[in-house]
């Protein structure tokens, strides 16, 4: 779904999964600094929006999600996953309940598969699931923002900022008074700095929650049964995940960033060394320079210098080995 905000001055369209919104509006670092200072907004109107209504909505979702939501207070933000039977991550939902409806935004294009799964699990529960992407747009306000929120708009407030579920028809009018726009690249650079994983970026077909540090924030270890729980419990109690998320400081002298999928090797092993991981997201940060998130094998020493393609990389621990 193409955003009307792509007509704003300087807007350069994003590509790939984030197609439909602006990559930037002409000055990536200025946009990052604005967000870090708590000003401006990010157009996330390409994300899927799913609404669940009905008196059983929280009890029903509690059975399906990795998060404890049966007693979720109105207005409290949370996040949750849906796993496969083998414990692999299939969906990530960013949730808030407004007292009558559970609102969730999800990765662009994933809402149809998510809704199909939810519909298949309704059984006798009094719930209705709806795709609201066509009429509701997600807008992100950074932490510290004092931008006004229109009356009646559902807000999902987190330590990283507020996600607004804004009527799509009001998007242009809201943008005109919400401060300077920031593109998705600025938003992604701050996400990388904050070590926050993203479905489809830090995940592949075999990713389990422990690898990305999603235990706690998106996976509640004391709740009842859900699909994939056996894997979660087994790894938590008896073992370790095969991979772990790391934050990388990349060599700033290189002109090009190593792209997602770039193989990581131990620097001491040289260019023909064995692969020990791969880049998941790379970004240019306004203060830190070139940085990245990556998945590496659990047994890689936390202080081992790495090479991403031809680019030197130093680790910071995100998930303990």
pLDDT per residue as tens digits for the range 54-88: 999 999 999 999 999 999 999 999 999 999 999 99
**What confidence score (pLDDT) does residue 259 get?**
96
Same domain membership, residue 57 and residue 119: yes
Domain-located, residue 222: no
Domain-located, residue 257: yes
Tell me the two tokens of residue 200. Answer: 């489809």
Which of the four pLDDT bands, split at 50, 70 and 90, describes residue 304? very high
CA distances from 279 to 120, 190, 243, 259, 264 (A): 35, 17, 13, 7, 7
d(CA 24, CA 20): 12
Other Cβ atoms within 10 Å of 37 Cβ, number: 12
**What confidence score (pLDDT) does residue 1 get?**
82
d(CA 142, CA 144): 6
**What confidence score (pLDDT) does residue 108 get?**
98
**What confidence score (pLDDT) does residue 223 get?**
87
Mean pLDDT (the chain) is 96
d(CA 112, CA 118): 10
Same domain membership, residue 127 and residue 12: no
Supply angle C-alpha 74, 100, 138, rounded to 5: 75
Same domain membership, residue 93 and residue 62: yes
Look-up of token digits 């990536």? 28
Same domain membership, residue 190 and residue 73: no
Domain-located, residue 221: no
Look-up of token digits 């059983």? 56
Residue 254 confidence (pLDDT) above 80: no
């Amino acid at each position: 779904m193409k955003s009307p905000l792509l007509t704003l001055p300087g807007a350069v369209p994003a590509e790939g999964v984030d197609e439909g919104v602006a990559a930037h509006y002409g000055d990536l670092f200025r946009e990052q600094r604005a967000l870090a200072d708590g000003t401006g907004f990010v157009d996330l109107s390409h994300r899927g929006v799913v609404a669940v209504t009905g008196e059983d909505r929280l009890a029903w979702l509690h059975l399906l999600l990795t998060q404890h939501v049966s007693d979720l207070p109105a207005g409290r933000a949370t996040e949750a996953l849906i796993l496969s039977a083998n414990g692999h991550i299939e969906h990530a939902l960013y949730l808030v309940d407004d007292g009558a409806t559970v609102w969730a935004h999800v990765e662009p294009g994933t809402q149809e598969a998510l809704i199909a799964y939810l519909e298949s699990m309704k059984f006798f529960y009094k719930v209705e699931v709806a795709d609201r992407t066509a009429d509701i747009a997600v807008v992100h306000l950074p932490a510290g923002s004092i931008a006004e929120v229109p009356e009646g708009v559902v807000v999902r407030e987190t330590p990283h900022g507020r996600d607004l579920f804004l009527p799509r028809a009001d998007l242009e009018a809201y943008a005109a008074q919400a401060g300077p726009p920031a593109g998705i690249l600025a938003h992604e650079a701050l996400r990388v700095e904050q070590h926050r994983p993203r479905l489809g970026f830090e995940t592949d077909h075999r990713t389990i929650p422990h690898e990305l540090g999603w235990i706690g924030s998106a996976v509640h270890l004391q709740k009842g049964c859900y699909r994939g729980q056996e894997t979660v419990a087994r790894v938590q109690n008896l073992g370790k995940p095969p991979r772990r998320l790391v934050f990388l400081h990349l060599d700033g002298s290189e002109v090009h960033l190593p792209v997602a999928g770039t193989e990581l090797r131990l620097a001491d092993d040289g260019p023909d060394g064995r692969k020990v991981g791969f880049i998941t997201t790379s970004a240019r940060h306004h203060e830190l320079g070139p940085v990245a998130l990556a998945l590496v094998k659990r047994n890689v020493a936390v202080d081992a210098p790495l090479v991403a393609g031809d680019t030197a990389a130093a680790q910071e621990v995100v998930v303990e080995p």
